[in-house]
């Protein structure tokens, strides 16, 4: 079976990073987006705490990378943790940095979450949907719902097409300008294909934008509530928290802004 784009591309990104950066620790920090490694991990932890994280919870960290969040959580002795990623070097670095023998770091190569139904208090995707297609992210969200406890929370960070900085990060400022003038539709289709072609030529990992309309639509389809979090200044990305909708019996989903 051919390798998924996210496995192929992210392994290549990390290999290239290690090849050009002589300091392995710096390379591992850059591979997950750069910026202050420790501080960003602490901010990610604060987001989970603001959503009710308890010291005895079970956190599943999808796309755990080199362990920014895991490192920030390691002083919680009763916290259970599973980190997954598609790049073994990143997981190995995270495992060593955390020094938590009771925690699991697992390499994966599909969009499955390697655990049972209804076990997790938190399923976290920090800067992961940013590198997947919308179809892939939706599959992952379904998986996250499967492994979440009834009162569990799913945290997703994303690049918002309404934010010019995010558009620039996604290499898509041109699209923003055109969007303002022409609206979506044909333009979207043309530019999506243009983006794919450029990615193949430049051999970069995909950078995906996600609008609130799409995130709301997923909530509705999966009968989840969605809360938008005011964290863009803290982690550089927008974020939202999905929960099983309280009104599940009526089949409605709730959106709070």
Q: What residues make contact with ligand SAM under the rule CB under 6 A? A: 6, 10, 32-33, 62-65, 68, 84-87, 90, 108, 111, 126-128, 131-132
Toward ligand SAM, which CB reaches closer, 39 or 252? 39
**Closest by CA position to 176, among listed 185, 167, 184, 188:** 167
Toward ligand SAM, which CB reaches closer, 17 or 215? 17
**Unique residue bearing structure tokens 């998924």:** 4
CB of residue 69 vs ligand SAM: minimum separation in angstroms?
6
> Rounded to whole angstroms, how far apart are CA atoms 35 and 10?
18
The encoded tokens of residue 55 equal: 């010291």
Beta carbons of 213 and 184 less than 8 angstroms apart: no
Toward ligand SAM, which CB reaches closer, 131 or 166? 131
CB of residue 15 vs ligand SAM: minimum separation in angstroms?
12
The encoded tokens of residue 69 equal: 């969040």
Beta carbons of 61 and 24 less than 8 angstroms apart: no
Toward ligand SAM, which CB reaches closer, 84 or 225? 84
Toward ligand SAM, which CB reaches closer, 80 or 206? 206
Toward ligand SAM, which CB reaches closer, 169 or 178? 169
Beta carbons of 210 and 228 less than 8 angstroms apart: no
> Rounded to whole angstroms, how far apart are CA atoms 154 and 123?
5
- What kind and span of H or E run contains 120? strand 120-125
Identify the DSSP state of 209: B
74 phi/psi in degrees, rounded to 5:
-65, -15
């Amino acid at each position: 079976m051919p390798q998924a784009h996210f496995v192929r591309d992210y392994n290549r990104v990390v290999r290239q990073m290690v090849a050009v950066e002589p300091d392995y620790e710096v390379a591992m920090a850059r591979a997950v987006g750069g910026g202050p490694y420790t501080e960003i991990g602490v901010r990610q932890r604060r987001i989970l705490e603001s959503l009710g994280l308890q010291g005895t919870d079970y956190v599943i960290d999808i796309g755990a990378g080199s362990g920014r969040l895991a490192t920030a959580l390691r002083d919680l002795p009763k916290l259970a943790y599973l980190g997954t990623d598609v790049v073994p070097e990143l997981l190995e670095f995270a495992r060593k940095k955390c020094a938590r023998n009771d925690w699991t770091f697992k390499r994966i190569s599909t969009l499955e979450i390697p655990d049972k139904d209804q076990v997790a208090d938190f399923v976290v995707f920090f800067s992961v949907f940013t590198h997947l297609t919308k179809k892939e992210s939706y599959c992952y969200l379904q998986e996250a719902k499967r492994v979440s406890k009834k009162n569990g929370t799913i945290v997703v960070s994303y690049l918002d097409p309404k934010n010019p900085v995010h558009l620039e990060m996604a290499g898509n400022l041109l699209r923003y300008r055109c969007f303002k003038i022409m609206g979506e539709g044909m333009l979207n289709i043309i530019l999506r294909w243009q983006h794919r072609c450029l990615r193949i030529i430049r051999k970069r990992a995909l950078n995906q934008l996600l609008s609130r309309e799409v995130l709301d639509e997923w909530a509705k389809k999966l009968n989840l509530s969605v809360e938008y979090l005011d964290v863009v200044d803290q982690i550089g990305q927008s974020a939202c928290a999905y929960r099983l909708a309280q009104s599940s019996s009526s089949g409605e989903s709730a959106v709070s802004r």
